[in-house]
Structure formats: structure tokens, C-alpha cells
């Protein structure tokens, strides 16, 4: 019998801690480090971190480092040395691009070159998966593992955590129930829950699509602004309703509603991206300035849900070739791409053009 949390559960705890501003400890083969999310650290905890001595760094992604002209010696990330007099506002200024144009000079920033960056990499993956800005304060500790126990902090073992942070958590069906919809009275909503304490994902099944032939399917990523508020900045609302309407008209289909808001960066970060777009950056540049990749979604989740529901082939409603590729790589045969061109307007025209030019979307 073991009542202790396993690595998935420890990661979930660490995520919750970081979101609240509580530090976590990451241990690896090269040592142990204290980690705080730049977005949620407060002045007191920053002072506490400094009081421990040593050489704290602010780990940022190579994307963010590029904007700030910080040297990247570790490939995908930079370890920016925390200047001795740097205040909390400096930490936030490096992490958050909101004021990049107003106060362009955050540097010059000096980056750490020596030593390993393994713990920093795990730290960044953790804060990203907590849907926070991808920037983490990291302080190597000399005290070792005892430090976490002494201060009651969550301790994550890097080697065991790494594979879990790289893959999406297994999902399990929780419940399904009849849900008559305006597009079809034969609707059914299925709920899927990940093992890692993350957000649940949903599937709307229309009619009774046979499992042995290709089902009309849509992988819809959550968009609070477009789906619910009628935002004109994207095409999500019309695509959601259009896909359901087509399934209703054909009498069968499955729409996955994946809770990967903002292409996987979360609503708060998507609003940060919108704010950058108001400063003149396009949707891809905005993600990069924030330190994210263009698209942080994990479409393996969609393939997993389809498989759990018994589907192995789809007619996929999409204009995004990456979705088709991901389905194929994860065991779902895409027998046909069904275009879904809806909802273009004066506000989202440039956004859709950027997706076509930079993300390979089909017109
Ligand atoms: N980061 C970010 N996310 C956005 C932005 N605009 C919309 N989104 C998100 O993008 C996702 C919508 O993508 P999808 O509707 O799946 O569209 P797609 O990947 O372009 O592919 P198809 O619609 O299938 O062609 C949702 O999660 C939105 O919240 C933006 O400017 N920045
Ligand atoms: Zn949208």
C-alpha cells in the first residue's frame, strides 16, 4: 500500500504551488534548486531568495531571450543573472513583455554560461504547464534535499518528472449524458478527465456515428472570447457553430471541445498576446515575445479521446494541416479534410492572413 503521491500528483501540486507564488524545489543529478514563478513571486519571497545567498538566475525561453537580446547558451533557454540590486519590477519586466515598447531598455542582460541548465528547463516546463508566463527564478541550493522538508516545500525529481511534462496525461471517461441541441436533438456530451489534475476535455457526439467508418469530426480548442462572447478578433465562434450545424445536417459527427485556451497558453496569456497585438505585433510575434511557441497545444489529447470513443478514422473539419498530421501520427486516419472557412470580418482579417502565411493554414 502506498498513500504517498506519485510523480504525476507531485507535479500537479508543484503547479498549484507556483500559481500561488509558493516556491518549489527541483532535484536532479547535478544538484538541487529552489524555483519560483516570475509572474507570482512577491517582494518578500524575492528578498527571502536573496537572503539564501548564491547566484540566482531568471530562466527565460529562447523566444523571450531573443526579444530582450539576452545571450542564449543553453539552446532553448537563457539563464539571465539576477543583478544584486534588481527589484521585483525588474523580474516582472523581464518576464512580461507588456512594457517592452514603453521601457525598451531592460538590459544589458548577462546570461550564465557555465553549469547545466537541466533544472532550469524543468522549471520552465512547470511554469508553462501552470499557464503562467514562461519565466522562473532558479537558485541552486547547497543544502540538498533536506531544504524542501525543512520548509515544507513540494520537491520534484527532475529525472522522473521530465517524461511526464513532455507527454499529455492519460485521460479517462467520467460520464456521458443525453444533451439535445438546437442543431440536433440526438446530442450526447462526454466528459474526459486527465490523471494529472489538469482540465477536463469534452466530446459532443451527434447521432450515433458508426465506429467502423470515418466520422465527421472537429477538434475545437477553447476560446472563451470567441465561443462565448462573440469576439470578432478570431473565427472560433462561427467555426464552432458551423461545425455543429454540419454534423446536425449530416445526422452524425463528433466535436471535441479541448480546453486548450489561447492555443494552449491560457486565457490570461492570450489577453497578454491581445494587448501586444494592439501594439502592432501579429498573433505569432505576440506569442514569441511572451516566450511561447506559435502553438503550445497538444493534439495527442484529441487523438486519445477519439480512440477512447472507439473511432479510428475521421473526416476532419479543419484548415490547419498540423492537426491532420498530429492525428495521423497518433493513430487516427484522416480520410478527408473538410474545409471550415467561416466568420471572416474586418477585425480578424489580418489574424487569418497571418495564420495562412506563418502557420500554414489552408485558404
Ligand atoms: N495565443 C493566441 N491564441 C489565440 C489567438 N486567437 C485565437 N486563439 C486561440 O486559438 C485557438 C483556435 O484555434 P482553432 O480554432 O483550433 O484553429 P486552428 O488551429 O487555426 O485550426 P482550424 O480552425 O481547425 O483550421 C483557440 O484556443 C483560441 O483561443 C491569439 O491571437 N493568440
Ligand atoms: Zn477564438
Probe residue for ligand 1, chosen from 199, 218, 234 as the CB with the greatest number of ligand atoms within 8 Å: 234
Same domain, 81 and 204: no
C-alpha span between 363 and 357 (Å, rounded): 10
Q: Decide if 70 is inside a domain.
A: yes
Same domain, 43 and 184: no
| Closest CA relative to residue 25, chosen from 119, 93, 114 | 119
Which residue among 74, 196, 227, 295 is the active-site one?
Answer: 295
Q: Decide if 349 is inside a domain.
A: yes
The answer to whether the peptide bond before residue 240 is cis (omega within 30 degrees of 0) is no
ipTM: 0.96
Q: Decide if 267 is inside a domain.
A: no
Boundary residue ending a domain (164, 199, 222) = 164
Same domain, 39 and 70: yes
Same domain, 149 and 221: no
Same domain, 90 and 215: no
Instruction: Render each residue's pLDDT in the chain as its tens digit; 363 residues.
Output: 689 999 999 999 999 999 999 999 999 987 999 999 999 999 999 999 999 999 999 999 999 999 999 999 999 999 999 999 899 999 999 999 998 887 766 678 999 999 999 999 999 999 999 999 999 999 999 877 789 999 999 999 999 999 998 888 899 999 999 999 999 999 999 999 999 889 999 999 999 999 999 999 999 999 999 999 999 999 999 999 999 999 999 999 999 999 999 999 999 999 999 999 999 999 999 999 999 999 999 999 999 999 999 999 999 999 999 999 999 999 999 999 999 887 778 888 877 788 777 777 776
Same domain, 205 and 81: no
Q: Decide if 290 is inside a domain.
A: no
297 among known catalytic residues:
yes
Same domain, 128 and 95: yes
Q: Decide if 204 is inside a domain.
A: yes
- For the full predicted model, state whether its pTM sits above 0.90: yes
C-alpha span between 69 and 135 (Å, rounded): 15
Which ligand 1 atom is at minimum distance from the Cα of 220? 16
Boundary residue ending a domain (130, 164, 198) = 164
Which CATH number does the domain housing residue 218 bear? 3.40.50.10990
Q: What is the pLDDT at residue 105?
A: 62
User: Could you tell me the three cell numbers for 46?
Assistant: 524575492
Probe residue for ligand 1, chosen from 236, 339, 359 as the CB with the greatest number of ligand atoms within 8 Å: 236
Same domain, 158 and 30: yes
Q: What is the pLDDT at residue 90?
A: 94
Count Cβ atoms below 10 Å from residue 144 Cβ, excluding itself.
11
Q: What is the pLDDT at residue 100?
A: 87
Q: What is the pLDDT at residue 1?
A: 66
C-alpha span between 24 and 27 (Å, rounded): 10
| Closest CA relative to residue 153, chosen from 1, 44, 45, 30 | 45
How do beta strands 215-221 and 201-206 pair? unpaired
Task: Indicate whether residue 263 lines ligand 1 (CB < 6 A).
Answer: yes
Task: Indicate whether residue 95 lines ligand 1 (CB < 6 A).
Answer: no
Q: What is the pLDDT at residue 142?
A: 85
| Closest CA relative to residue 85, chosen from 61, 111, 56, 64 | 56
Distances (CA, A) of 215 to 160, 184, 221, 246: 38, 16, 19, 12
Task: Indicate whether residue 222 lines ligand 1 (CB < 6 A).
Answer: yes
C-alpha span between 191 and 169 (Å, rounded): 15
| Residue showing cell 514603453 | 102
* Helix locations, 21-145, DSSP H: 43-51, 62-68, 88-95, 118-129
Same domain, 93 and 159: yes
Cα of 108 to ligand 1 centre, how many Å? 35
Query: How many helices (DSSP H) and strands (DSSP E) are in the chain?
Result: 14, 13
Same domain, 159 and 176: no
* pLDDT tens-digit map of 130-174: 999 999 999 999 877 789 999 999 999 999 999 998 888 899 999
Same domain, 54 and 192: no
Q: What are phi and psi of 335, to 5 degrees?
A: -80, -20
Total domains present in the chain: 2
C-alpha span between 46 and 41 (Å, rounded): 7
Range of 190's domain? 171-260+297-358
Q: What is the pLDDT at residue 148?
A: 94
Same domain, 227 and 155: no
Q: Which residues surround the ion ligand 2 when the cut-off is CB under 5 Å?
A: 223, 226, 234, 236
Boundary residue ending a domain (101, 129, 164) = 164
Q: What is the pLDDT at residue 102?
A: 79
Q: What is the pLDDT at residue 360?
A: 72
6 among known catalytic residues:
no
C-alpha span between 218 and 316 (Å, rounded): 6
Q: Whose CA is nearest to atom 11 of ligand 1?
A: 263
Which CATH number does the domain housing residue 140 bear? 3.90.870.10
Q: Decide if 278 is inside a domain.
A: no
Q: Decide if 84 is inside a domain.
A: yes
Q: What is the pLDDT at residue 75?
A: 94
Q: Decide if 116 is inside a domain.
A: yes
Amino acid at each position: 500500500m502506498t498513500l504517498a503521491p506519485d510523480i504525476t500528483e507531485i507535479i500537479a501540486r508543484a503547479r498549484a504551488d507556483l500559481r500561488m507564488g509558493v516556491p518549489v524545489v527541483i532535484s536532479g543529478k547535478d544538484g538541487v534548486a529552489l524555483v519560483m514563478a516570475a509572474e507570482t513571486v512577491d517582494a518578500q519571497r524575492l528578498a527571502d531568495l536573496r537572503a539564501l545567498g548564491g547566484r540566482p538566475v531568471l530562466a527565460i525561453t529562447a523566444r523571450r531571450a531573443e526579444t530582450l537580446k539576452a545571450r542564449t547558451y543553453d539552446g532553448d533557454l537563457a539563464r539571465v543573472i539576477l543583478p544584486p540590486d534588481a527589484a521585483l519590477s525588474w523580474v516582472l519586466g523581464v518576464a512580461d513583455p507588456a512594457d517592452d515598447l514603453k521601457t525598451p531598455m531592460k538590459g544589458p542582460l548577462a546570461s550564465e554560461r557555465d553549469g547545466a541548465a537541466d533544472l532550469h528547463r524543468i522549471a520552465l516546463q512547470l511554469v508553462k504547464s501552470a499557464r503562467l508566463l514562461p519565466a522562473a527564478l532558479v537558485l541552486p541550493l547547497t543544502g540538498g534535499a533536506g531544504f524542501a522538508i525543512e520548509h515544507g516545500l513540494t520537491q520534484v525529481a527532475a529525472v522522473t518528472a521530465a517524461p511526464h511534462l513532455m507527454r499529455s496525461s492519460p485521460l479517462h471517461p467520467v460520464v456521458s449524458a443525453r444533451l439535445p441541441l438546437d442543431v440536433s436533438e440526438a446530442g450526447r456530451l462526454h466528459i474526459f478527465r486527465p490523471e494529472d489534475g489538469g482540465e477536463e476535455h469534452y466530446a459532443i457526439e451527434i447521432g450515433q456515428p458508426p465506429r467502423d467508418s470515418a466520422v465527421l469530426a472537429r477538434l475545437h480548442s477553447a476560446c472563451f472570447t470567441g465561443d462565448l462572447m462573440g469576439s470578432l478578433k478570431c473565427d472560433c465562434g462561427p467555426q464552432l457553430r458551423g461545425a455543429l450545424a454540419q454534423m446536425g445536417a449530416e445526422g452524425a459527427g463528433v466535436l471535441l471541445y479541448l480546453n486548450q485556451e489561447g492555443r494552449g497558453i491560457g486565457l490570461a496569456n492570450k489577453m497578454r498576446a491581445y494587448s501586444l497585438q494592439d501594439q502592432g505585433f501579429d498573433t505569432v510575434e505576440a506569442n514569441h515575445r511572451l516566450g511561447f511557441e506559435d502553438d503550445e497545444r497538444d493534439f495527442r489529447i484529441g487523438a486519445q479521446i477519439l480512440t477512447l470513443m472507439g473511432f479510428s478514422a475521421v473526416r476532419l473539419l479543419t484548415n490547419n494541416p498540423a492537426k491532420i498530421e498530429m492525428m495521423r501520427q497518433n493513430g487516427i486516419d484522416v480520410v478527408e479534410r473538410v474545409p471550415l472557412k467561416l466568420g471572416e470580418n474586418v477585425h480578424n482579417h489580418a489574424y487569418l492572413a497571418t495564420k495562412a502565411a506563418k502557420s500554414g493554414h489552408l485558404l
